[in-house]
Amino acid sequence: MGARRQAGAGPHRGDDRARHGAGDQGRRPGARPRLRRGHLLRHPRRRRLRPPGHPRLPGRQRRRPGRPGHGRPAHPHRRRRSRLRSTHVTANLQILISGISLGCVLALLALGFVVVAKSTGVFNLTQGGFVVLGGYLSYTAHQTWGLPFVLAVLLSIVLVSALAVLLEATIVHRIATANLFTPILVTFGLLIIIPPVAAGIWGPDQKNLGDPWGLDVLRVGDLTITHRDLAVIISTLVLLAAFGAFFRFSRLGLAMQATALDPEAALAQGVSDRTVHRLSWGIAGALGAFGGTMLATTAGAGLGPGLEQYALLAIPVIILGGLESPLGAVLGGLFVGIVQQFAVVRVPESFGAGFYEVVPYLLMLVVMLVRPEGLFGTKKVRRI
C-alpha cells in the first residue's frame, strides 16, 4: 500500500477517507500528493450538493444565482415558459373574479326563488320581472329624478318589493292552494307580461344606467378588477350577512323558518301564514331589484330588453343547490357563474358561438340525473 507515513506528516484520519498529505503514499521525489491506490479503485459515494452560498464552497460557486451579474444566466426558453405561465395564471384569475361577480348576482336571484318556494311552496317565475323592474326603476330615479345612485337603488328595491307583496296579496294568494301547477302558470304569465310593459314605458333602446363605477378598474399587479365587480361582491356579502342575522335573530325570520318547517304547527302557535307569504315575496322582490340593478350597470349586461333571462339562469342554480336550500342557492350561484365565465373564454369556437349559454343547463341536467333533489337538498321519503 505504499511507504509508511514519515515523521512530520499530517495527523492520521479514518481509513474511509482519501489521504492527500505528504507521506500518505509512496511517491517519487517532487511528485504531488495523490490518492491511495485503494481509494482510486473504490466507487465514489454520492453526496448531497451544497446549496448556493454555503460557507464551504469556493468563492465563485458561493455567489447566489439570483443576484445581478452573478451566477449562470437563465436559459431563454425557461424565461419564456415562465412568462407564459405567469400570463396564463393571471388570465385565469381574471376569469375567476368575473365569474365570482356573476355568481354573486345569480346567488341573490336564486335566493329569491328559494325563499318563496320554502315559505309558500310556490315556484315563483315572476322573479325575472322583478329583475327588469329593478333595473328600470333605478335608471328612472337616478337619471330622470336626479337622485344619488345609492338612494335610487334603495328606492327601486322598496318599490319592487311593494309590488311583489301586492301581486301576492291580489293574485297569487288566491290560487296558491289550488294545485301544484296553477301558481307556476300564473307566475309564468306575470313573467311574460312585465318585460313588454317595461319596454312600452321606457322604450326598447339600450339605456345608460349612469352607475358611479362605469368602466373604472383596480390594478393589482397584472390583475385588473373592475370597480363594479368589487361592489357586487362586497354588497352580496353584506346582504347575505344581513339575511342570515334576520332569519336567525328576528321574530319574523324565526316565524318564516317555523312556517317552512311545519306550517300547521306554526299556525297553531299563532304565526300568520299570510304575513309570512307576503314577507317572503317582498324579500324576493328586493333581491330581484338589486340583482337587476347590478346587471344593468355599464360593466354588466346593460339595461335593455332580455334582462329577465338572467333570472331564468338562476333556475339551474336552484336545481344544482336544491330548491329549498339557501346555502345551496349561494354555492350553486357561485359555481354556475364561474363555470359560465370560463366557458365564455376557454371553450373553443367549434362548439358554437353561444355554447356558454347552454353550459348551466347542461349542469342542471347532469345533477337532475344523478341527484334530483340537488346537492344540498333534502331527499323526500314517500310512504306507500
Q: 186-213, pLDDT tens digit by residue?
A: 999 999 999 999 999 998 888 888 888 8
Predicted pLDDT at 139: 93
Residue 154 belongs to domain with CATH number? 1.10.3470
Which residue do the cell numbers 318589493 mark?
161
- What is the pairing mode between strands 217-220 and 223-226? antiparallel
**pLDDT tens readout for residues 93-137:** 989 999 999 999 999 999 999 999 888 888 899 999 999 999 999
Q: What angle do CA 61, 63, 67 make, to 5 degrees?
A: 145
Which residue do the cell numbers 452573478 mark?
70
* Residue 218, beta-bridge partner list: 225
Q: Angle formed by the axes of helices 76-120 and 314-321, to 10°?
A: 80
Terminal Cα-to-Cα distance of the chain (whole angstroms): 97
Question: Is residue 252 included in any domain, yes or no?
Answer: yes
**pLDDT tens readout for residues 241-299:** 998 899 888 888 888 888 888 888 888 888 888 889 999 999 999 999 999 999 888 76
133-147, 149-163, 174-188, 321-335: range with lowest mean pLDDT: 174-188
Cα 300 from Cα 101, distance rounded (Å):
10
User: How far apart, in Å, are the Cα atoms of 371 and each of 185, 202, 313, 321, 330?
Assistant: 26, 43, 19, 10, 18
Cell of 26: 509512496
Question: Is residue 47 included in any domain, yes or no?
Answer: no
Q: What is the percentage of the chain residues whose pLDDT exceeds 70?
A: 76
Question: Is residue 22 included in any domain, yes or no?
Answer: no
Question: Is residue 312 included in any domain, yes or no?
Answer: yes
User: How far apart, in Å, are the Cα atoms of 191 and each of 110, 184, 188, 301, 333?
Assistant: 16, 11, 5, 19, 21
Widest CA span of the chain, in angstroms? 118
Question: Is residue 28 included in any domain, yes or no?
Answer: no
Q: What is the pTM of this model?
A: 0.75
Whether residue 230 is predicted with pLDDT greater than 50 in this model: the reply is yes
Predicted pLDDT at 153: 94
Q: Which helix (H) or strand (E) holds 220?
A: strand 217-220
Q: Which DSSP category does 350 fall into?
A: G
Question: Which residue segment(s) compose the domain that 86 sits in?
Answer: 81-345+353-370
Question: Is residue 341 included in any domain, yes or no?
Answer: yes
Q: How many domains is the chain partitioned into structurally?
A: 1
* Residue 4, beta-bridge partner list: none
Whether residue 7 is predicted with pLDDT greater than 60 in this model: the reply is no
In residues, how long is the chain? 384
Question: Is residue 376 included in any domain, yes or no?
Answer: no
Q: Which DSSP category does 303 fall into?
A: B
Cα 16 from Cα 378, distance rounded (Å):
72
Contact 187, 172 (CB under 8 A): yes
